[in-house]
Amino acid sequence: MDGVVSLSSVREDRFWAVVASIGRQRRIAEIFANRDAALADRAWREQQVRAYASFLRSTRQPPPNYSVEPMRRADLPKTWRPLPALGFLRGQFI
């Protein structure tokens, strides 16, 4: 049977992404094999944003919002790299 796709390869093609957004800009912050790990990472990132809220205000940097979304490996940009906790480096959202 030439058209048969194994279920394990289909499952490996899907993952959970923590997505950072500021305004209309969206970046994939991190990827995980399961939803629970992605939710834990999102909670940690949100805690970091709360911890640095005064710093973000003083630098006039808008805080990123985080969400967890299912994603396919094909949707991941080839040059993707994980984002730092606050979602930016050197004052620029990356």
Strand duo 92-93 + 88-89: pairing: antiparallel
Assess contact for 61 and 91: CB atoms under 8 A: yes
pLDDT of residue 61: 79
Place of tokens 């805690």: 47
Q: Is 32 a domain residue?
A: yes
pLDDT of residue 13: 78
Q: Is 79 a domain residue?
A: no
Q: Is 57 a domain residue?
A: yes
Q: Is 62 a domain residue?
A: yes
Terminal-to-terminal C-alpha distance of the chain: 45
Q: What is the mean pLDDT of residues 33-48?
A: 94
Q: What is the mean pLDDT of residues 8-21?
A: 76
> Residue 22 and residue 25: Cα distance in Å, rounded?
5
pTM of the shown model = 0.76
Q: Is 47 a domain residue?
A: yes
The region of weakest confidence among 10-14, 53-57, 62-66, 76-80 is: 10-14
Number of domains forming the structure of the chain: 1
Q: Which helix (H) or strand (E) holds 8?
A: helix 7-12
Q: Is 80 a domain residue?
A: no
pLDDT of residue 53: 84
Instruction: Look up the domain containing 27 and give its range.
Output: 11-72
